[in-house]
Amino acid sequence: MAESDLLSRARATRVVVIGGGVAGLVAARECARVGFAVTLFESAEHLGGAVADAELDGLRVDAVADSYAPGAQALIDDLGLGDAVVPLATDDVWITGLPGAAPVPADALAGIPANPWADDVRRLIGWRGAWRAYLDKLRPPLTIGRQANLGALVGGRMGARVLDRLVAPLTRGVYGIEPSDVDADAAVPGLSTALTRLGSLSGAVGDLLVDAPDKARRSLRGGMTTLVDALAAELADYAVDVRVGVRVEKVGRGFDTRATQPPEGTRASRATQPPGGARPARATSPWTAEVAGEEPIEADAVVVATPRTEAHRLLAGAGVVLPRNTAPAPAPADVVTLLVDAPALDGAPRGGAAYPIAADAASVVHATAAWEWLAVDAGPGRHVLRVRLPAETAPDDDVIIARAVAEVAAAFAVPLTVDAVIAAHRARVEPAAPASVLGHADRAEAVRRAVAKAPGLTVVGAWVAGAGIARTVADAVAETDRMRHALLWDSGDENHPAPDVNP
């Protein structure tokens, strides 16, 4: 097909993206880069979704997501943000809730220790726990590698203390889920193979640590909303119509323009066939996006890039029958960001984060300890902390903030009261489950199969890709590329991806 035909087709193609989080912004960018006319709707008054910020006494801070994994680096570089990348000042994570607190052992994966006798392991599980974990090496090899459930695998092989004091605080603190909901091989790739080969869980972890990939989190100077701002700027350059504070009420089918085309194979149809065999623009039934107070917006394709609950509503309205959702998911949470005057925290007594053993306690991120640029901007003796609490329906902000302060004081073992709070921000979030949740890949594939029955409709976002900016970005690029391929080529031939043609 001639390049001019592709450009003409691209410019005649209209796409609606619903959701202005990272997934929606990336999807809109991928569509706009080939010349599609893109309209993006975001129901909130700002773009970014979970990548949001708050202003605390003039200080701009991340309110929810504050970092990204190496998998998102290509996008960061492509947006010209390479010079803004900053490493963690400390990757120490502490576990709290015992008579004392201690850092997560250095030689461990997902909290599973390579050596249960190591001092930093025994500090958390004690001699009794170390002896029980040692039995892992004596278990029969025939049972190895057959248990997908991380909680059952660790508890069965290394005992309750390793599970409850090392593994569970991390799965709850990072993702808000229990170890029993985690797929062991998804959480630690290669674990089952290493177990079968080496005969013990600790031996498998030790082997995998040798060539462990770089998973160090990174951030951007000024906060992760720098990424959102850069994406929004590119969309403006591509003349994407971005509408914030606008909720799409319904996605539905529009009209079928194929009904007005001459029958296939007739002289009239051959006379109207574009050069190179390209199909006529909008030869499929376009979609419509209905917005209150406006005429329905017609589109050749719609990308649903909202959180799970809203995506289910929109997809159901579009006639997509999704499989019954049985996935374990993190409960809604209140994320409280505090700016406090507390010189007692200057020494970062709990590293960059503290995760509790108790299931009902809060996780605390010490943002000014984790990110040096933020500590400089905050000033001497001032600290930013982010506290994740179970979502409350009744208490007002003052009650939730007081609880957050109490959780920090308990986790960090420092005297801290609400009098130290300079400013605070509360955000209600619907966390996405990680891709390591049991059955995630099968459920995501089932969702995609259901959506594929409605050509021109695509779904992206953390709820189907798995939590994390890197996974969300990679999934949005891949799914949007499939959609572009269908719109530009309409062949279904995956061996010929849509060309990256910029108008």
Question: Are residue 274 and residue 357 in the same domain, yes or no?
Answer: no
- Domains: count for the chain: 3
d(CA 477, CA 457): 15
Sign of CA dihedral 42, 48, 49, 53: negative
Decide if 502 is inside a domain: no
Mean pLDDT, range 22-39, rounded to an integer: 96
Give SS3 for 85. Answer: strand
Question: Are residue 114 and residue 44 in the same domain, yes or no?
Answer: no
Token pair 């060309």 in the structure block, residue: 499
Among the ranges given (2-16, 236-250, 289-303, 341-355), the one the predictor scored with the smallest mean pLDDT: 2-16
d(CA 306, CA 314): 9
Distant-in-sequence, close-in-space partners of 328: CB < 8 Å, separation ≥ 6? 177, 178, 181, 433, 437, 438
pLDDT tens-place string over residues 343-381: 999 998 999 999 999 877 789 999 999 999 999 999 999
Q: Whose CA is closest to 456, among 52, 14, 146?
A: 14
Question: Are residue 364 and residue 451 in the same domain, yes or no?
Answer: no
Decide if 495 is inside a domain: no
Which is more confidently placed, 146 or 468?
468
Decide if 499 is inside a domain: no
Question: Are residue 317 and residue 448 in the same domain, yes or no?
Answer: yes
User: Which tokens is 13 given?
Assistant: 């193609």
pLDDT at 383: 97
Decide if 494 is inside a domain: no
Give the distance, in angstroms, between the CA of residue 86 and the centroid of all CA atoms in the same chain. 20
d(CA 63, CA 335): 7
pLDDT at 324: 79
Question: Are residue 255 and residue 321 in the same domain, yes or no?
Answer: yes
Q: Whose CA is closest to 39, among 316, 286, 303, 340?
A: 303
- Using 50, 70 and 90 to split pLDDT, how confident is the model at 148? confident
Among the ranges given (152-161, 235-244, 316-325), the one the predictor scored with the smallest mean pLDDT: 316-325
**Extended beta strands in 245-360, E state:** 248-253, 287-291, 297-299, 301-304, 333-341, 353-356
Question: Are residue 115 and residue 203 in the same domain, yes or no?
Answer: yes
Percentage of residues in the chain having pLDDT higher than 90: 69
CATH number at residue 204: 1.10.3110.10
pLDDT at 72: 95
Give SS3 for 272. Answer: coil
pLDDT at 273: 39
- Using 50, 70 and 90 to split pLDDT, how confident is the model at 46? very high
Q: Whose CA is closest to 27, among 456, 498, 472?
A: 472
Distant-in-sequence, close-in-space partners of 194: CB < 8 Å, separation ≥ 6? 203, 204, 205, 207, 208
**Extended beta strands in 408-490, E state:** 421-429, 457-459
Residue span of the structural domain in which 406 resides? 53-90+219-223+329-429
Decide if 241 is inside a domain: yes
* Single pTM value for the model: 0.86
Decide if 99 is inside a domain: no
Decide if 96 is inside a domain: no
> Which phi and psi angles does 376 have, rounded to 5°?
-65, -45
Decide if 503 is inside a domain: no
pLDDT tens-place string over residues 400-451: 999 999 999 999 999 999 999 999 999 988 888 899 999 999 999 999 999 9
pLDDT at 138: 85
Question: Are residue 338 and residue 425 in the same domain, yes or no?
Answer: yes
Burial 407-433 (b: 16+ CB within 10 A, else e): bbbbbbebebeeebbbbbbbeebbbbb
Residues 297/288, Cβ–Cβ less than 8 Å: yes
